[in-house]
Structure 1
């Protein structure tokens, strides 16, 4: 495996996004672009990246504005810019353009986890022609209280407070995630039943759950969620993109499976090809849980290998 560091100017015209392209040692058969979630960074997917490389896939990933190495280098964890909710999706297209320079003829797949799945779903509405397959992991339907939070955030922005940081809004967005967990040890126990994974997440200097995005940035995050609801969203996604929708059935982000199936049903109602798989007894980060991560990645590889082969033929 070879690792190539890349960087490019963000769509927000403020940040320089840091990214990486991981290449296999043999002739590649396709490309997978990994889109990470809220409050984390792309190198938390190294197990998946290495396994995909071994299977013959080039892997590309970046750290979003306000996240990971991008934020670490600029010391800007709070401000995602003022260019709107498509900023991160547009940055993924910029990374895609870099990939095209060397691997433009290969089948191309996007994997998005959590907020990354929201970004991928937005990406598919504008750049769906770029995709040969889409993998959604830990995706969402709607968060409780989101309409009220959106209205309050918009009022704050209209009052000129968009660049202020108020942890209360982020707390309200996420505090309900542990409601079904008996005696949670931390507010982030919804991530995984494995305490080592939760601790690793908390101790990672490139994660930023403690560095709260400003009001304008949280408003963009909330708008992402609002823009990917119902058949109004799925009818904008090209119907020839095969989609693999996976999650844990104890994941609150996907409303314990109900929200995951809602997303798949929207897609089915608008004529899409969707395969849905829930992992029983697991929470949000199924791709990191040591008991099942090999099985999860194997399922992803089976999906993308099948559709890479279809394109090649």
Structure 2
């Protein structure tokens, strides 16, 4: 596993990246991962090692406000003072260009989990021709009434205290996620049924942190833009896209929100969109107690893209 840095084409921000499988010199295909909110890219190491054994090279990046891309503690949970949503999308494209330079003869598939899935959906609206497939994992509900209220609140708070971390906004965003779980032990049981993963998440100083008011404004803006069917017009209609999520994931409204997103893509004329919802699995399906079946389904999807020359 090799750590390296690239620089943003927008503002020269130093971005920490990981090549999980540097010893795999001639991969079948390359996967680029975009992680979720309040976590970091190293949490995908086990998944990347599985794929490396199948001949797939994996790259990822700590998004702005996360992991080692934060050069100071106060950067954690804060994307940018303005237009952070745009910067996140362009950062993903910058890493994509780096990968293309290294593997110009290989197919590249992009994977986004949770907030990362929303970033990837926005990325596809603009840069779908730069990848050969996409995996949308643990994505959010479509933009709706509660998001409109949250957008209004985030705008007001961002004007006054954009860099402030708000317990109120955080509770507003996440307080209901544990409500469907019986005998819950922690505030993060909604992530996965694997208690050890939840424990490690809580103990990890680079996970579960509070985010700023402008962070939430950027996130809601990304959800709004990803949910706007007009923005799908520029996506390559033949691009293979796989939606995956847990049926017990509150972030995607227990599969209902994910299904709405999938149907929106189908109605937009995308010809090669698939969906798989996993019974009993919560938000982090890559970290579930029966994650092997998810790993295998992802591998099969990647293999189908590799074989379709």
Following superposition of structure 1 onto structure 2, how do residues 1-313 of structure 1 map, counting pairs within 5 Å? 3-10=1-8, 13=11, 15-21=13-19, 22-25=21-24, 27-71=26-70, 73-75=71-73, 76-81=75-80, 82-142=82-142, 145-158=146-159, 160-207=160-207, 209-210=208-209, 212-272=210-270, 273-290=272-289, 292-310=290-308, 313=309
Structure 1: gaps of 5 or more residues: none
Q: What SS is found at the alignment partner of 1:98?
A: helix
How far off its partner does 1:252 sit? 0.6
Structure 2: gaps of 5 or more residues: none
Query: TM-score, normalising length from structure 1?
Result: 0.92
How far off its partner does 1:34 sit? 0.7
8 Å CA contact retained: 1:247, 1:278? yes
More off after superposition, 24-33 vs 270-279 = 24-33
Query: TM-score, normalising length from structure 2?
Result: 0.93
More off after superposition, 7-16 vs 161-170 = 7-16
Counterparts of 1:298 and 1:236, CA distance in 2: 30
Cα RMSD between the aligned structures?
1.8
Q: What SS is found at the alignment partner of 1:191?
A: coil
How far off its partner does 1:8 sit? 2.1
How far off its partner does 1:31 sit? 0.7
Counterparts of 2:232 and 2:253, CA distance in 1: 19
Counterparts of 1:178 and 1:223, CA distance in 2: 24
How far off its partner does 1:230 sit? 4.5
